[in-house]
Chains A and B, each alone.
Chain A
């Protein structure tokens, strides 16, 4: 029961935050609503028993991506123009509405139980009190797990950091 209430509150807040990001004219307020939306998504992870991901969501999205976006807004100084719509925004709304209708139809009509989804996951599906961190760690670093993608992700992060520095460095300055 408490989980239901939490889900509905978090779902409504995340949708409102996402709409505010798109519709607000003030870019800085849009960025703050985006960070608020990241928090609500972390709460939704918590309702799905994904404790590790809820913490990582706050660390990576709120801590890193949010600060990066606010710095980008500060440096580009576009706040006086605000975040405007372009010429094709009616078409974009039409397209998004059609896509939303198609996606909701697909999501609700597909027989997920036939794929092995359980309607009510047992509370003891995960070892009580241990959380998911151990399982994620095992899946990531096991010999038969995702150890190669982990290494590639590390190389990609290094490439992204180097690329960011190279792209942003001022070549004209001597």
Chain B
């Protein structure tokens, strides 16, 4: 029998999620930060699909469909904002866009 259990998928999902968090916190390019957010969303999707299989419920996969929709919308709006900021400031470094800092 296959010895791949639920834990294997959950640990893989955790590793991908933490790589994504590391990228989001440490990069200086907003486009790369969006790419890391996509990695994190993919990690969550892996966990949802794994639970869907091992709990034998289809709802996990239904939630993945909604996460996909949200990810597509987020990428669209996020990249539009990045392009608008780049057009006015010639930079996509989040550290330089700090007018709202208190």
Contacts and interface: CB of A to CB of B under 8 A. Distances in A.
Interface of A: 1, 3-4, 7, 11, 14-15, 18-19, 21-22, 27, 30-31, 34, 37-38, 41, 44-45, 47-50, 52-53, 56-57, 60-61, 64-65, 68-69, 71-73, 75-76, 78, 81-86, 88-89, 91-93, 95-97, 99-100, 103-104, 107-108, 112, 115-121, 125, 132, 135-136, 139-140, 145-146, 149, 153, 156-157, 159-161, 163-165, 167-168, 170
A53 B49 contact: yes
Contacts of A78: 29, 31, 92
| B interface: dominant SS | helix
Interface of B: 1-12, 14-23, 25-29, 31-32, 34-36, 38-39, 42, 45-46, 49-56, 58-59, 61-62, 64-66, 68-77, 79-84, 86-87, 92, 95
Among B5, B9, B72, max chain A CB count under 10 A is at B72
Majority SS of interface residues in chain A? helix
A118 B56 contact: yes
Given A115-B55, A140-B62, A37 B42 contact: yes
A107 B84 contact: no
A153 B35 contact: no
B45 to A, nearest CB: 7
